[in-house]
Structure 1
């Protein structure tokens, strides 16, 4: 079989995510007929049907589901290789750490100070993101990220534990559980929960993309959320937190790419875990 081009994978991912050739073509900035021809050619070359097409809808076939997962990984790897190669050409190395606001359990300043005092330390840029921190490390936009286990998907990443804490549930005032001193996971069964873009596989819930959106939805009574205890210490009016006695502890981890060979990354990890 001829080699599949990254362009073809990008075309397929766009169609597979949009499930609509017109929207996918608009997203890619090309006309629809050449996009349709490219997908048909890809199917012929691979010898499989990737998409079921009708006059009303487009659906992924089982082989199409597999290719969507693998194509995303392949495109991320290509982008990461390009970004890391360009970073290697910099005359002045830098590190980029991805994190979400308030997601450092109060440890970041100490870590940064400890790293800055280490031999060969380089400048560290902070990239505040919600929902794409792990993806930023995988595709090379960031060198490291602060994530939580078991909440986040750590596929393709190495990590070291920094801090473990209990979890609480965030509730709107007036919720049926608001008068409880503590709750259990069974008490939360059936309640609407959020799902972050970087959640581990198998997690379901209402899609959320940033912390302000989540807090607003909780205030409106549309969601509740189980979060690390430190997050529940700074809540806006209208929200309360209650300990969840049997929730799995949340562990803050420092994560980096499994393929990283950066001496700067290794030095930052050593500084972070030294305490």
Structure 2
């Protein structure tokens, strides 16, 4: 049984006349009559009572008509959904993000995307940069907001935001009242940093920056996420160096101070896998570019 058999049957059932049904379907009457008989033979019941002058539905025909209409409506709905998905009008997109993205561009991107594409479900997963790279390659996520550079050339990245590093101190610290801090003034402080595997490039740059200031930092804790670092600083466990946007989530008891020395910038990029043609991705990238152009 094919969908066309159901369409033929519904047309005849609604017209109760083979000639008018054939005109409606733009086919000849004889092939239509043959298709209806083939349908009856396939399901094993008569769907119509036929006389020389009239045609009417049998009881089985009435039941079959109800279900045939439902099937055709469901098929049309399935086709519509497939077409809308293929055009990127509906569907689901999963996006990975890091803490700095949450503090800067991500909320604006999500709000605008939901406003412009309310029928698209946006999934968000907080992942480290290295985790996002693997998730993009394995198709677990379709886009990522991460920190370049990344290993390999299989992904495309576009830098959308840059910010410098600042010193993170307890508000009771002797330097907390300073407007700017020289990194060398922190030479004897205990440091709290991210583990190197979370962001090896930035981690190495921070250590290099300290060495340029004449010391190697005494690291007493390596933790994630950033809220944990901020909490440990507030508890006076040590000091840290974080991106400036951490101020957005800094708890009571913590101060952020710019450094005298030029610091490496933390870049945030949108990344995607060009080998995966996800229909919703272009719409997401458009929103990302719109938001970041306005920053």
TM-score, normalised on structure 2? 0.51
Q: Provide the residue aligned with 1:212 in structure 2.
A: 227
Secondary structure of the 1:178 match is: coil
Query: 1: CA distance between counterparts of 2:241 and 2:165?
Result: 6
Q: Does 1:110 align with 2:125?
A: no
Q: Which has the higher helix share?
A: 2
1:249 and 2:265 aligned? yes
d(CA) in 2 for partners of 1:187, 1:133:
36
Q: Distance in 2 between matches of 1:184 and 1:129?
A: 32
Residue 155 of structure 1: aligned partner? 151
Q: Return the offset for 1:190.
A: 5.7
Contact persistence 2:95–2:144 (CA under 8 A): yes
Shift in alpha-carbon separation, 1:135–1:170, aligned structure 2, 3 A: farther
Does 1:144 pair with 2:160?
no
Matching residue within 258, 266, 275 for 2:282? 266
Alignment partner, residue 33 of structure 2: none
Residues 269 and 121 of structure 1: CA distance in aligned 2, closer, same or farther (over 3 Å): farther
Q: Would the alpha carbon gap of residues 116 and 138 (structure 1) be closer, same or farther in structure 2, given more than 3 Å must change?
A: same
Counterpart residue number, 2:4: none
SS of corresponding position for 2:271: strand
Instruction: From the superposition, tell whether residues 93 and 229 of structure 1 become closer, same or farther in structure 2 (CA, over 3 Å).
Output: same
1:240 has 2:236 as partner: no
Deviations 1:18-43 (Å, cap 9, x if unpaired)?
Answer: xxxxxxxxxxxxxxxxxxxxxxxxxx
What's the offset of the Cα at 1:259?
Answer: 4.1
Shift, 1:171, TM fit: 1.0
Higher CA-based Rg: 2
**1:272 offset after TM fit, Å?**
0.7
Bigger mean CA offset, 105-114 vs 161-170: 105-114
| Inter-partner Cα distance in structure 2 for 1:236 and 1:111 | 25
Quote how far apart the aligned CAs of 1:216 are: 2.5
> Offset at 1:93?
3.8
Q: Secondary structure at the match of 1:272?
A: helix
Contact 2:100–2:243 (8 Å) recurs in 1: no
Q: CA deviation at 1:242?
A: 0.4
Aligned residues: 182
**Which of residues 206, 213, 230 in structure 1 aligns to 2:245?**
230
What's 1:34 paired with? none
Q: TM-score, normalised by structure 1?
A: 0.54
- Output the aligned Cα RMSD: 3.3
**Alignment match of 1:98 (pick from 96, 109, 115):** 96
Question: In 1, Cα distance between the equivalents of 2:234 and 2:134?
Answer: 29
Residue 243 of structure 1 and its aligned partner are, at CA, apart by: 0.9
